[in-house]
Structure 1
Amino acid sequence: MSFLTLKSIHVILMVTWFAGLFYLPRLYVYHAMLDNDPKGDERFKIMERKLFWGIMTPGGILTIATGLTMVFVYHDIGVWLHIKLTLVALLIFYHIWCGKLLNDFKYNRNQRSHVWYRWFNEFPVVILIPIVFLVIYKPF
């Protein structure tokens, strides 16, 4: 497989992962706003579970796998990559935190407001921007 093919697959998978990272917390916003709606609660639980386990987690795992493959096979290592990998580690932590919140909703233990989830939802954007600039410019 050529480097550009692997890189293209990596970007496609990254977009898939980020779709979940952007949308799952948005579902949490609306889920947290429900008031005495058992059918709506169950509907959100199903959507959240399917998004987390069916799209987000496979996308994240495969994004990381293709990224590490590029690093190990093509050895394009610089300071920029160390910074990027640190930011990816933060995304992995965020992903795991989303899974913990998924379980909180699943077992009716959510204690956070929709406003908190609105702020929580912004974190992936804060990480995506520097990652894109690091990859495109490779400044260090």
Structure 2
Amino acid sequence: MYIENTGLEHLQLDLNTLDEILPEYGLIRAGQWDYERVTYDRKIVINNNVYYLRVQGYAVSGDVGAHDAIIQLKVPILGKYYYPHGVEYGEDENFPNALVNECKEILLAVKEELEPLALAIES
């Protein structure tokens, strides 16, 4: 499920800024990166169901592995984990309203903190 209209998809930030701030909101970039992409996940467990709030981005310049990149954020997504297949985001998924609202609140707080630190995007 895409969580639209958060405004995060309009932000470009230094990778080190994201690595410093997003963990404060439970969004962790563990092994989910390569030299051009990053993924920050927040694991949420409700009634033995595991969900992931995911904020992804890609390098518009620099190198993620060298901790020297400017990251363009994408539209955040919410997925449900199924063992052993992984996380599903499809339209067939049913997410509790309370979970969706909690994710929107988290993303709003993230945007409010990141927006003043964002770089100007060239048109």
Which of the pair has the greater relative contact order for Cα pairs under 8 Å at 6+ separation? 1
Work out which of the two has the higher radius of gyration on C-alpha atoms and give 1 or 2. 1
Report which of the two has the higher share of helix.
1
TM-score > 0.5 by shorter chain: no
TM-score (norm 1): 0.29
